[in-house]
Amino acid sequence: MGKVSVQTFLEENKDYLVRLTSELCSFATENPPGKDFEPCVDFLQGYSESLGLKTEKIHVPEAYQRRYNSPETFGYPRFNLLARWNVGAEKTLHFNSHFDVVPVSDDWKTNPFQPVVKQGKLFGRGTCDMKGSLAASLFAVHALKACGLRPAWNIELSFTADEEIGGECGVGYLVKNKLVRPDAAVVCEGGSGQAVSFGHRGVLWADVLVRGVSAHGSNPQAGVNAFEKGIALAERMRALEKEFRRRKSRFPLDRPEFAYPTMTLGGVSGGGSKVNTVPDRFHFTIDRRLTPEERVNDVIKEFNTIIAEAKKKDKTLKAKMHVTRGFDAGITDKNAPICQIAKKAVQTVTGKNATLCIFGAFTDLHFFTGIAKCPTIGYGVEGEGLHGSREFLKIRSLVETARVYAEIMMNSTP
Ligand SMILES: [Zn+2]
């Protein structure tokens, strides 16, 4: 009867779940810089406590924030919230969601922070990424409580800052300082529908700075053009793409094209200051995504080798790569109980087969698998337009995701 009543509760209270999501979206937690984090956390604390959860509001020390975050976030304090339901079980299961959202652009047709329901979808900034999933995790607890059910694990929820800028003051802070030590975890994004992710690709972000010598535009021979040198260097790096075709991952990726390493050059680039001046500096960024088989240190070496070879060929080239972020893929053993429990939960709720895959983008999951050595899966609400001006979630999926979470909470063995 338990399952039926959770399902019934969720179906009957669907509108409440949509309202809860909308209310969360009304906090304009744009990051950077990281606005309204505290009021959002206070709201979550109030709601969690109304469910009988024990909460812990965590303020990240300013010095820590200054160490890890860029200056645009300074003056915007970072908070995280933990909410616990200890039932005296042997093991603890953790659910994590981030409450920060990417900044909005001007082309939203409606107020992005006042979500609108249209044809079974909820439109608004943060609906899909990822306040809907956050609401679903809390509402799953609400449903179990309302149905008088006791989970098979101690349940621990975290609502965290800064996923959109790297997570160091969010999940990174909790995990590195051992404020959470779960036996298994669910990151509430990075898989949806029939796909449960058991990891995600790795990443390297770097900035390449090329230095030249400025000169008058009428006399370019007198200078060294940093832009032209930089373009030539980027062209050498682009040649890597041929090599990528030979490095297909053996892991199942959520999309076939993600089974290969990928690279985006020049996401940010620039340098020169005037049309009639030979530019003495030019920089461009590298966004390189790693398959689970690749190691970030090898990838760094690969780029440095290209730079060194280019310098051998061109004695006037002055270039240096600065790594801004990098980590290997986050991976959980596919046979870990949490993978099988999650897969089964999705099958029970949707009535269709579920698959385990590796997510092509990255989430905060790698903090759990890499630093906390905690088996972790990714699963959340289905939607589209993440980071765009038509972001939405599917309301059907919102209800089903809450049910999937409730199922996972009720089963500690596959
Ligand atoms: Zn997200």
Ligand 1 centroid – CA 189 distance (Å): 6
Contacts of 44 (CB under 8 A, 6+ apart): 24, 81, 83, 99, 138, 159
Q: How far is the CA of 380 from the centre of ligand 1 (A)?
A: 10
Q: Domain map of the chain by residue range?
A: 2-200+329-410, 202-327
pLDDT at res. 5: 87
User: Is 50 exceeded by the pLDDT of residue 226?
Assistant: yes
- What is the model's pLDDT at position 4? 57
Q: How far is the CA of 387 from the centre of ligand 1 (A)?
A: 9
Cα(130) to centroid of ligand 1, in Å? 5
Name the residue among 298, 377, 381, 286 with its Cα closest to residue 330: 377
**pLDDT value, residue 59:** 98
Q: What is the largest CA-CA distance in the chain?
A: 84
Q: pLDDT per residue over 277-313, tens digit each?
A: 999 999 999 999 999 999 999 999 999 999 999 999 9
Statement: residue 136 has pLDDT above 80: yes
Dihedral of alpha carbons 399, 95, 155, 335, sign: positive
Cα 173 to averaged position of ligand 1 atoms, centre (Å): 17
Confidence of residue 2 (pLDDT cuts 50, 70, 90): very low
Taking the centre of ligand 1 as the mean of its atom positions, its distance from the CA of residue 186, in whole angstroms, is 13
Instruction: Kindly state the average pLDDT of the residues 94-114.
Output: 95
Q: What is the CATH number of domain 2-200+329-410?
A: 3.40.630.10
CA distance 143 to 410: 12
Rounded distance between C-alpha atoms, residue 81 and residue 79, angstroms: 7
If 0-12 CB within 10 Å is exposed, 13-18 middle and 19+ buried, where does residue 88 land? exposed
Return the DSSP state at 328: P
Q: Write down the mean pLDDT value for the chain.
A: 97
* Residue 1 clears pLDDT 50, i.e. is over it: no
72, two tokens:
């645009």
Q: What is the pLDDT of residues 146-189, one digit of tens each?
A: 999 999 999 999 999 999 999 999 999 999 999 999 999 999 99
Cα of 107 from ligand 1 centre, angstroms: 21
Under DSSP, the state recorded for 218 is: T
Vertex 84, ends 200 and 69: CA angle to 5°?
Answer: 50
Instruction: Please give the average per-residue pLDDT across 245-270, as a whole number.
Output: 97
- Name the least confident of 1-5, 166-170, 345-349: 1-5
**Lookup result for tokens 């009639």:** 276
Do 202-327 and 2-200+329-410 have the same topology in CATH?
no
Closest to 144 (Cα-Cα) out of 411, 337, 338? 411
pLDDT at 220 over 50: yes
DSSP 32-62: TTT-SHHHHHHHHHHHHHHTT-EEEEEEPPH
Positions of E strands within 142-194 = 154-160, 184-187
Domain 202-327 coded CATH 3.40.50.720:
no
Whether 31 and 164 have beta carbons less than 8 Å apart is answered as yes
- pLDDT for 50-59, tens place per residue? 999 999 999 9
Report, as an integer, the average pLDDT of 325-332.
Answer: 97
Distance in angstroms (rounded) separating the CA atoms of residues 394 and 14: 12
Helix (H) and strand (E) counts in the chain: 12, 17
Q: Which DSSP category does 224 fall into?
A: B
